[in-house]
Amino acid sequence: MTIDVDAQIAGLVSRIAFTPAAQRLRRRARALMIQGTASDVGKSMVVAGLCRAFTRRGLVVRPFKAQNMSNNAAVAADSDLPPGPDGEIVFGEIGRAQHLQARACKAAPSIHMNPVLLKPQTDIGSQVVLRGRVLGNCPARIYHRMRHGMMPAILDSLDRLRAEADLVLVEGAGSGAEIYLRRSDITNMHLAEQADLPVVILSDIDRGGTMAAIVGSHALLDPADRARVVGYVVNKFRGDFSLFEPGVKTITEQTGWPFLGVLRWFPTADRLPAEDSLALERPAETLGRGLNVAVPRLSRIANFDDLDPLAAEPGVALRFVQPGNPIPADTDVIILPGSKATRSDLDVLRREGWDIDILAHARRGGRVLGLCAGFQMLGRVVRDPQGNEGASGETRGLGLLDVETEIGGDKRLVDVDAVDRFSGCRVTGYEMHMGRTTGPGLSRPWLMLDDGAGHIRPEGAMSADGRIAGAYVHGLFGADAFRSHWLRSVGAQASGLDFVQRTEAAIEALADHCEENLDLDALLALAR
């Protein structure tokens, strides 16, 4: 499904439900934008920490990122559409980082917090999501032409947040000094100009080159954009900062930008969900010991934060298997995670020889679990007749479950909060997938969900011996009782970990970290 560019650009603005100006302007929040000198410098984490820190001060805070590129997404309420026939909330999708930032604000996530989401499917193309809804698949060069057609929707979403808050913290993307992209920019300096946002530059000293990154950004920006910058922050510092004070003096002399502080290394950052697969480029085995869980590192891996609760268990050793490596022979459970390109990642499984490892593991009586796309991969075949995730066609699955999948139709986006009637445990999470799975294997569902309102539905499939299972629900393992039940069912020990509280404690610690390292009163004074 390829986007018709001219038709989409022509229709973008008309499809947006704009809020009347009088309603939007009833209450205008101050705003402050955090831009980076590069990707992965910590913008998302710093914004999350500031969201909680300012919320604790009694402010109504909202996060905003105009455009995010990530296959880690979450569901969010879509206030543009009326409730469903039974009065149910209609959901869209936003980036995982903005979902976490909403939580830090103690606010419900909204599609307006991340109006444009790009979900990479190939090296040169992505699925484009506007205000929570899929527009289609788009090569990068064509999306480059589309972006300015999205600016009215982006500014409208930002206005809506500013109408309901005291402070909006706006996150940039990548580097704001990529001046060759300035004319088509919708998320850094062009957005700052259009919305009249003051900008703080964030740099990551842990990767080195901070002086060059900040001074170089100043040199590349035009005078008007330089004037929007109200200061800079050095992030991820370790050691004795007095040794870097001459560097700060040089940066300030060269740029004229005020130094707003240094954020020291935050050691428990790994307790918060990662925004995208860059986090997996620095793989590390979890500290747990006991149950050995292996996860193939798929090329288009998505929603891998599903596995964070398992990785946090002291009785679990969870390893992401990198390309070029076999699945370890001592593995107890193999988990196939979500993917933005199911058929393409089935090809990856075969290219890496992981399909052989998985089938051999299953023959030996090992357990295999599939989540969302991973569930689709466990079936006999995955068909994509309309080319929703790439070239049209079909790909043979692993054949471990007697089901088959056809990609197509509307994306299913729904929050899940139910009781699994098989285990008796509460199940929470969400569904986010295109396509429909059918076949005899569904007669043995993995879950039997009861929403408490008389609606009971089977979910997923399980082999006759119970060792192979899959389902579409993301976030299953975040439910403590369900996770403990599953661990015991595979012969592992459950620790009684309260994962929600663990994450909440990490957000609080991050807010403390921002309070201790930055002058929040000064930052608030810079917002306008």
The span from the CA of 68 to the CA of 497, in Å, is 32
- Rounded (to 5) percent helix, strand, coil in the chain: 40, 30, 35
Share of the chain above pLDDT 90, in %: 75
Q: Quote the longest CA-to-CA distance of the chain.
A: 71
pLDDT confidence bin for 81, thresholds 50/70/90: confident
pLDDT confidence bin for 22, thresholds 50/70/90: very low
- Helix, coil or strand: residue 77: strand
pLDDT confidence bin for 339, thresholds 50/70/90: very high
Judge whether residue 298 has pLDDT over 90: yes
Angle at 23 between CA 19 and CA 25, to 5 degrees: 105
* Catalytic center residues: 372, 474
Judge whether residue 343 has pLDDT over 50: yes
Give the pLDDT confidence score for residue 510 in this predicted structure: 97
The model's pLDDT over 474-492, given as tens digits with 9 standing for 90+, comes to 999 999 999 999 999 999 9
Judge whether residue 21 has pLDDT over 50: no
- Helix, coil or strand: residue 524: helix
The average pLDDT across 163-168 equals: 96
pLDDT confidence bin for 409, thresholds 50/70/90: confident
Judge whether residue 25 has pLDDT over 60: no
Specify whether the CB–CB gap between 127 and 434 falls below 8 A: no
Give the pLDDT confidence score for residue 497 in this predicted structure: 95
Q: What is the DSSP string of 302-324?
A: E-GGGGHHHHH-TTEEEEEEPTT
pLDDT confidence bin for 14, thresholds 50/70/90: low
The model's pLDDT over 109-160, given as tens digits with 9 standing for 90+, comes to 999 999 999 998 877 778 899 999 888 888 888 888 888 789 999 999 999 9
* 136 conformational bin, left if phi > 0, alpha if psi -120 to 50, beta if neither: left
The model's pLDDT over 178-203, given as tens digits with 9 standing for 90+, comes to 999 898 899 999 999 999 999 999 99
Share of the chain above pLDDT 70, in %: 91
pLDDT confidence bin for 83, thresholds 50/70/90: confident
Residues 6 or more apart whose CB falls under 8 angstroms from that of 453 comprise none
Q: For the chain, what is the mean pLDDT?
A: 91
- Extract the tokens encoding 150: 């999205």
pLDDT confidence bin for 26, thresholds 50/70/90: low
The model's pLDDT over 425-461, given as tens digits with 9 standing for 90+, comes to 999 999 999 889 999 999 999 999 998 887 899 999 9
